[in-house]
Amino acid sequence: MANTNLIALERDEKISAAAERLSMTRREFLQFCAALATTLGLPQGADAAVAEAVATKKRPSVIWLHFQECTGCTESMLRAEHPTLEKLILDVISLDYHETLFAAAGHQVEAARHTAMEQNKGQYILVIEGAIPTRDNGIYCKVGGKTAIELTRECAADAAAVIAIGSCASWGGMPSTDPNPTGAKGVAEVLGKPVVTIPGCPPNPYNFLSTVVHFLTFGKLPEVDHLGRPKFAYSRLIHENCERRAHFDAGRFAMEFGDAGHRQGYCLYKLGCKGPETYANCSVILFGDAGAGTWPVACGHPCIGCTEQGVGFQKPIHSLAKLKNIEPSAFLPRIVEEQGVGASLGAAALLAAVAGAAAGAGAMLTRNLGLSHQAEELEKAKKDGAQAKQSTEV
């Protein structure tokens, strides 16, 4: 098809067939592809390439492993609406192994994994959800008789791409918090090489979907930052696009949950919001397909920094965030305002004595300065007189 004009594709039969598979009209399908291209930050004309790829290319095989996690990443995928999960796994990707969603169990599931790996060698996408325990040779998590370490290395060996979904898989997340009894680590650390990370607890499902569609369209994963996070989703601070940002700039803060400022939607910075030090697109694409206000800060709770290593699950929820790139005005009130209690009689008397001494010293200094000036003037007059006398005699 090789078309760079999205509207020109509307009457294409392959587009119509793809839209029908996804239970969309042709226009809805093209809008969906345009939204994905925009989310990825792709240039003009890329939306048509996305539409062509989804409509014509072979669905990428996906093998999805579960380790130390709460299955929240999968649960967030279950609630995606554009497209819904069954359309995603049946028409956009081929989810060939997923323990939570499989109806089968035991040997049948493991056989499906091996078959998918053999038939799609070098072409499948490996998705890992959950941290990997490494202490005591990884005995704290086993699936099918193999440790999480063994499964990760086995499945990653022939994968076209490895994606760590969720904060646990990205760097260890909640399981890796002190004292970390199982030695939980992220996928990249276990494999010893960079992987694409999509942190969040849980991450937004559209960040994962957009990453997979980018791979489907261009045959490669999107550009990532130094932590392996796709830049289209994790290059801006949450604080930059937060709907409460105007209140921050104006110095309007909620001081307690349920106070007047909190009820009026004031900034949650003083309640511990980590938005000023957390990179993610939560404030832009929201969460859960439930309409406006569907992300923690809009719902009234501070961001906990779940996408940011060293912030989420490390810093106390209500401790103050480190401001990155943005500093509050020096005229804004401090976090804890000091209260005066008044001076005692003794302190007042001491202050009066000090003030009196200072006043006396000031008066003496002024007097001395005046005398010094007079002496300088007399000395100058004497010199001028002596010079005038010499001139007259000559």
Identify the pLDDT of residue 352. Answer: 56
Residues 142 and 278 placed together within one structural domain of the fold: no
pLDDT less than 70: residues of the chain: 1-11, 39-41, 43-44, 82-92, 288-292, 326-379, 386-394
Residue 348: inside a domain: no
120 and 225, same structural domain?
A: yes
Same domain? For 163 and 294 the reply is: no
CATH, residue 256: 4.10.480.10
The pLDDT value given to residue 303: 94
Extended beta strands in the chain, E state? 61-66, 94-98, 125-129, 132-133, 142-143, 146-147, 161-165, 184-185, 196-198
Per the structure, the complete domain to which residue 107 belongs is given by 58-233
Are 143 and 98 contacting, i.e. CB atoms less than 8 angstroms apart?
no
Q: Which residue has the tokens 């078309």?
A: 3
pLDDT of residue 346: 55
Domain co-membership, 172 together with 99: yes
- Is 97 a domain residue? yes
The pTM assigned to this predicted structure is 0.72
Looking at residue 292, its pLDDT comes to: 67
Is residue 293 a part of any domain in this protein? Answer: yes
Let me know whether 98 and 192 are in one domain. yes
142 in helix, strand or coil? strand
Q: Are residues 111 and 259 located together in one domain of the fold?
A: no
Based on the fold, state whether residues 162 and 296 are members of the same structural domain: no
Q: Are residues 113 and 154 in the same domain?
A: yes
Query: 77 in a domain, yes or no?
Result: yes
C-alpha–C-alpha distance, residues 26 and 201, integer Å: 34
Give the chain's domain count.
2
* Residue 259 and residue 207 share a domain: no
- 377 belongs to a structural domain: no
Determine the Cα–Cα distance for residues 234 and 214; give it in Å rounded to an integer. 16
Q: Which pLDDT does position 46 carry in this prediction?
A: 74
- Residues 368 and 361: their CA atoms lie apart, in Å, by 10
> Domain of 195: which CATH number?
3.40.50.700
Q: Are 241 and 321 members of one domain?
A: yes
Contact in structure between 100 and 74 (CB atoms under 8 Å) = yes
